[in-house]
A and B are shown apart, each in its own frame.
Chain A
Amino acid sequence: MNRITSLFAASALAMGVATANAATLKMAYDADPVSLDPFEQLSGGTLQLSHMTYDPLIRWTQEFGFEPRLAEKWERIDDTTMRFYLRKGVKFHSGNEFTAKDVEFSFNRLKASPDFKGVFAPFSGVKVVDDYTIDVMTDGPFPLVLNNMTYVFPMDSAFFSGEDENGKPKDEIVKHGNSFASRTISGTGPYTVSYREQGVRVEFERNEDYWDSESPGNVDKIIFTPIKEEPTRVAALLSGDVDFIAPISPTDYERIDNSDKVDLVTMSGTRIITFQMNQERVEAFKNPKVRLAVNYAINQEGIVDKIMKGYATAAAQFSPEGYLGYNPDLKPRYDLEKAKALMAEAGYEDGFSITMAAPNNRYVNDEKIAQAVASMLSKINIKVDLKTMPKAQYWPEFDERSADMMMIGWHSDTEDTNNFFEFLAACPNAETGAGQYNSGNYCNEELDALIAQANTEIDPDKRAEIMQEMEKIAYEDAAFVPLHWQDLSWAARKGVDIAPIVNGMNFPYLGDLVISE
């Protein structure tokens, strides 16, 4: 089969036919998505798939701007309503026409999905104005309407209505069962799934009637293979068995960079890696001076250089550059002498002992980072008893707040600063769910008030001001220990031009991929 395709390719070349036509892409990620249902799980894997088989109303650009997709344009009608004008003449894979009804259907499904209902909680609903116009309403003024619309992948409402052969509703969302939507696709996206053997291979065919005729994409078939093992994934690329792989471990960067057959593309990521200092478990952490000392003792640049091999950005706040709340004045502040002085001022010159926990297979080099932090803290006489474990065991431990300092990485689902604060730095409150991942129990009412304010401020400039102030407060108060934003990485053989289609959200727009040879 392979030989036949390459034979065709060779003869096409020989005849001088434009080579920009009909290319096949063989790609490998570390895992394949659990489900074909775009609304079942809010995860990178699902979003990567959704961008291949469905289209969102709008999507992120590489610079964190918005690009119209199924919504052509939008306007704010009042403080709580945004109107979206939909693209006409778009067809689902089933052949059904795409209209506002489908958006309404999908929106309601999102609001019912356990994974997405949190993100969509501020919305009161949608109203179909006509076939190609829809109003999205929020309970109060809400600044992130557009951010959230990048999650609205309209599903084919006619196709997903009714019951499947087992008598179950076709639109049901099941976390641990075999629902119709988890194995069937009818979207508007550039690809349809033509074959799927879960965990082994998924094959995609180009959607012949794809609405976006402007797209330069020339890949008409994608063969997707999950390859779990890092060295195998790299070997598959270097040996030419696949054309495109992700992610790549920093230890392999040099090897890939040195090869003249493949290109490495890296990009600053948006996932912040942090440590939290538990004030309920350790009395000393209640003292801002001790927290500051910890921050001064940790050398972020050193970790980035030595452990991340330069493929990360040292951080002093939650927000990566490009986010509204990014505060350019905040810099990493490694200063061992100052850290020692602060410890002495706080009366902890002789230090104390703490426990620390981190996962060992969740973030890039997580275990090594934790070890480095532990040894840096020993310089200010904080003795660390470090425990690392696989992520599957780590999260239950994290939920129990079972160590004095715990590592957590966070990617903002809304690509917005406030999300970091709501989950990681707000006063923990079991009822509202605020501070759900704030294992440090850091609580600052001034900050909480600003978080609430940022949630209703719809003027972007004012909002930026508020959120940059929030970052500053957290920095000065040493609410947590920011470490770095880890880089994202992809690699492809030469001729597969991935640089324009990858992004910081890590869902490559494969529909627009061009293979030149």
Chain B
Amino acid sequence: MLIFLLKRTLQAVIVMLVISVVAFAIQDNLGDPLRELVGQSVSAAEREMLRDEMGLNDPFIEKYGRFLKNALHGDLGNSYFFKRPALDVIIDKLGPTLELVFGATVIIVVFSIPLGVYTAIHPNTTFTKIVMALSSIGISIPVFLTAIMLTYIFAIQLGWLPSFGRGEPGQFAGIESAYFSVDGLRHLILPCIALSSIMLPLFIRLVRSEMLEVLSSEYIKFAKAKGLALNRIYYQHALKNTMLPVLTVGGVQIGTMVAYTILTERVFQWPGMGFLFLEAVNRVDTPLITAYVIFVGFIFVVTNTLVDLLYGLINPTVNLTGKGA
């Protein structure tokens, strides 16, 4: 176990280093950050002076070395737009993004498991056909379109829900969150539905196919032959074994959803990390872009490692110390 952890950590460090080089190297191709900071009529000489002052004219190796040194001290640079440490800005926006991910996860869990199980047990009913058809449609419509349609129907036409933003978040036990106020909850509904619109059909299909596979296995047949109650077979024996692969895939998917909120956040003007990133690209806020790429890379690495560990806990036959674990 310990060796596994060490090995994984070493791998993670190497991956993070590679990410940092890539994140840093793209900086020079994003445009000129200074252009976004000064007015159009500022003279070329003046701009050159400011660029020198900001260290933008130094050679790549020198810039990267300086960046890496600071990064090891936990300093990923200051955002040009926010004028604050880039990492602080990102962490501030992590909360709202997690709210969306949490809401979408709840929707996915609540709907995908029952629907997936039902469609597996009753493969030929009309309801199953409807669910499968809808899920095909759901997968094929891009998130931003779903989001715009939701806004059009529920905000403009019906006027039931707000069209953008996070509203007035509430306070509970010193934590500020949109979940703690009615206004915040109202603002959460549409973005959470939009965000789950791609993942939910995927999960329904995943649960269904896993369940179908389990249902056709020998031990289920045997249990049926033995005359066990069908409900017991389905919900106790089959479901348990279905959930194992679902959890693995699901864990990774939901972890990475943190990085996939970009479109939803953009359409709903949700003040989270994804929106922040897009804005940073528009403004050529290079320190913020680099910090974001590194931060998201970090989330991916951590989720993957955690899922591997969890897998071992749930299924003891998985050999953690094994080759290439």
Contacts and interface: CB of A to CB of B under 8 A. Distances in A.
A34 B37 contact: yes
Contacts of A220: none
A118 B42 CA distance: 7
Given A235-B163, A239-B162, A396-B31, A119 B81 contact: no
B78 A176 contact: yes
Interface in A221-253: 225-229, 231-232, 235-236, 238-241
Interface in A361-417: 361, 390-396, 399, 410-411, 413
A231 to B, nearest CB: 6
B128 to A, nearest CB: 35
A2 to B, nearest CB: 7
A300 interface: no
Contacts of A423: 41
Contacts of A396: 31-32, 35
Nearest to A115: B39
Contacts of A468: none
A229 B266 contact: yes
A363 to B, nearest CB: 12
Nearest to A433: B43
A41 B41 CA distance: 11
B148 A231 contact: yes
Contact of A199 (B31, B34, B168, B279): B279
A227 B269 contact: yes
Interface of B: 29-32, 34-46, 50, 53-54, 78, 80-84, 148, 151-152, 155-156, 159, 162-166, 168, 183, 266-269, 271, 275-276, 278-279, 281-284
A395 B35 contact: yes
A225 B165 CA distance: 9
Contacts of B50: 114, 175
A435 B268 CA distance: 42
B47 to A, nearest CB: 8
A182 to B, nearest CB: 6
B271 A392 contact: no
25 contacts: A1-B168, A1-B183, A34-B37, A35-B83, A42-B40, A43-B39, A115-B39, A118-B46, A175-B53, A199-B81, A199-B82, A227-B269, A228-B278, A228-B279, A229-B269, A232-B164, A235-B163, A238-B156, A241-B163, A390-B282, A392-B32, A392-B283, A394-B31, A430-B44, A436-B43
B100 to A, nearest CB: 15
Contacts of A236: 163-164, 269
| Interchain residue pairs A-B with the least CB separation, the first 6 | A392-B31, A42-B39, A239-B155, A178-B83, A200-B271, A433-B43
A399 B269 CA distance: 33
Interface string A331-371: 00000000000000000000000000000010000000000
Contact of B159 (A43, A176, A232, A239): A239
A436 B283 CA distance: 23
Contacts of B163: 232, 235-236, 239, 241
A22 B236 CA distance: 63
Contact of B267 (A43, A179, A232, A391): A232
Contacts of A413: 39, 41
A438 to B, nearest CB: 12
A324 to B, nearest CB: 19
Nearest to B30: A392
A198 interface: yes
A405 B54 CA distance: 32
Interface of A: 1-2, 34-35, 41-43, 114-115, 117-119, 175-179, 182-183, 197-200, 225-229, 231-232, 235-236, 238-241, 361, 390-396, 399, 410-411, 413, 419, 423, 430, 433, 436-437
Contacts of A232: 151, 163-164, 267-269
B81 A34 contact: yes
For A228, A410, A430, A437, the residue with the greatest tally of chain B CB atoms inside 10 Å of its CB is A228
B271 A393 contact: no
A183 to B, nearest CB: 8
A235 B37 contact: no
A144 to B, nearest CB: 14
A175 B148 contact: no
A41 B50 CA distance: 13
A235 B271 contact: no
Contacts, number: 143
Nearest to B32: A396
Contacts of B46: 114, 117-118
A177 B83 contact: yes
A115 B271 contact: no
Contact of B39 (A41, A176, A430, A436): A41
B42 to A, nearest CB: 6
Given A225-B165, A235-B163, A182 B83 contact: yes
Given A114-B50, A118-B43, A232-B268, A241 B162 contact: yes
A433 B43 CA distance: 6
Nearest to A396: B32
Contacts of A199: 81-82, 271, 276, 279
B196 to A, nearest CB: 19
Contact of B164 (A175, A235, A399): A235
A228 B39 contact: no
Given A235-B152, A241-B164, A228 B41 contact: no
Contacts of B159: 239-240
Given A241-B165, A392-B32, 9 more contacts: A41-B39, A117-B46, A176-B54, A200-B166, A228-B269, A241-B163, A394-B31, A395-B31, A433-B45
Given A178-B83, A239-B162, A433-B44, A2 B271 contact: no
B41 A119 contact: yes
A512 to B, nearest CB: 26
Contacts of B30: 392-393
Given A1-B183, A232-B269, A396-B32, A118 B81 contact: no
Nearest to A432: B43
Nearest to B287: A176
Contacts of B278: 228
B38 A114 contact: yes
Nearest to B158: A239
A392 B36 contact: yes
B82 A118 contact: no
Nearest to B281: A392
Contacts of A198: 81-82
Given A2-B183, A118-B43, A235-B151, A178 B37 contact: no
Contacts of B151: 231-232, 235, 239
Nearest to A437: B40
Nearest to A34: B81
A216 to B, nearest CB: 30
A177 B79 CA distance: 9
B180 to A, nearest CB: 14
A178 to B, nearest CB: 4
A394 B44 CA distance: 16
Nearest to A389: B31
A48 to B, nearest CB: 14
Given A175-B37, A176-B54, A423-B41, A392 B83 contact: no
Contacts of A436: 41, 43-44
Nearest to A177: B83
Contacts of A1: 168, 183
Contacts of B45: 433
B272 to A, nearest CB: 10
Contacts of B148: 231, 235
B163 to A, nearest CB: 4
B78 A177 contact: yes
